[in-house]
Amino acid sequence: MLAVSALPLARAAAQTADKPFRNLGGGPAGFPIRTRAARDAHQPFDFVDYCHSLGFGVAETRADLGTPEQIRALRQKIESYHMRVILDIPLPRDEAGVPAFDAAVQASHEVGVYGLHAAMTQRRYEQFDNLLAFQKDFERCQHVIAMAEPVLRKHRVRLAIENHKGWRAAEQAAWMKRVSSEWVGVHFDFGNNVSLCEEPSETLRLLLPYVFSCHIKDMAVELYQDGFLLSEVPLGTGFLNIPSMVEALQGKDPKMPFDLEMITRDPLKIPVFTDKYWATFEDAASPLPGRDLARVLEIVLHKGSRTPLPRLTGMSPEAQLKLEDDNVRLSIDYARRRLNL
């Protein structure tokens, strides 16, 4: 059975436990191997506890808040840890789902959450075969938020919608401008929109006015037959200008949470040389100009990884867990040395 003890990584964090992070946190998508290993070993794994063991000041998580006792227990935990929490709760699919969403937002308010997080899309270039299908799904997302916003406003809880490889930044920014609510904004992912041929600083420039919270990560790229490969890598080892991006976000809000999402996995394929990739950009409100493709390919050619991107395929479960822990530890070390979080 795979040993899932968190002690090696937690011990590294404990070396600086006298100075925990204020604004660096953990996003659950960045710890899939450790989460899966605990589940497979039938061991409890509380993500808030784990983030605290790493010295984080924020945790993004799901929680069962169906009873007053559960609400009180989570509030007491985050208060005792001097942490903030961002919750992922289901959004209403239709009008019949609004009461359940209302109850979940009220419970989140009683916990004292920093805010809510939602990833509403899949990978656009994989999910859709034509522009109409994309447009219908975008309309669905807009309708969901139109139902959710009055509930968020009533309970004074903010919802941050992630740029989750579904919309170009101009599309999402224009939507947020139309919503025009202090309770609905953006959960900014540092690297996702590279998959949509955006240079990260341009994605940040367009979405910055609406950002409430972040997924911090670094990215590396590599050419392949149908386009380029995209991987999360430890902070400071990819091509993103992490200090500059953090500075810009902290200029908007010095207390902004940065949840580490160092996803250890096989590289993602971004097939920009295929017809299907371009199917949803024909006559779109925010088309993908050829110059944007050229800029991203320039990054791939001139700033691409000099060594093959890491891959989990073929690795033992023990080796996968060690690699994830090492990637997280390297990112934490970089954050302590280079970022004021």
- pLDDT one-digit tens code per residue, 209-254: 999 999 999 999 999 999 999 999 999 999 999 999 999 999 999 9
pTM: 0.94
| Exposure on the CB side of residue 165, measured as CA atoms within 13 A | 16
202 burial level (CB within 10 Å; 0-12, 13-18, 19+)? middle
Name 260's bridge partners: 26, 216
pLDDT band at 9 (very low <50, low <70, confident <90, very high): low
Take residue 338 and report the two structure tokens written for it: 């280079």
pLDDT on residue 274: 96
pLDDT on residue 16: 47
- pLDDT one-digit tens code per residue, 28-79: 999 999 999 999 988 989 999 999 999 999 999 999 999 999 999 999 999 9
Residue with tokens 């929680």: 63
pLDDT on residue 8: 47
- pLDDT one-digit tens code per residue, 95-153: 999 999 999 999 999 999 999 999 999 999 999 999 999 999 999 999 999 999 999 99
pLDDT on residue 211: 98
Mean pLDDT over residues 72-96, rounded?
Answer: 97
Mean pLDDT over residues 167-173, rounded?
Answer: 96
- pLDDT one-digit tens code per residue, 276-331: 999 999 766 667 888 999 999 999 999 988 888 989 999 999 999 999 999 999 99
pLDDT on residue 1: 45
Neighbours of 333 (CB within 10 A): 15
Take residue 256 and report the two structure tokens written for it: 């902004």
Q: How far is CA 27 from CA 55, 117, 132, 216, in A?
A: 14, 10, 32, 9
pLDDT on residue 288: 85
Beta strands in the chain (DSSP E): 24-26, 58-61, 84-87, 115-118, 159-162, 184-189, 211-216, 218-224, 227-233, 258-260, 268-270
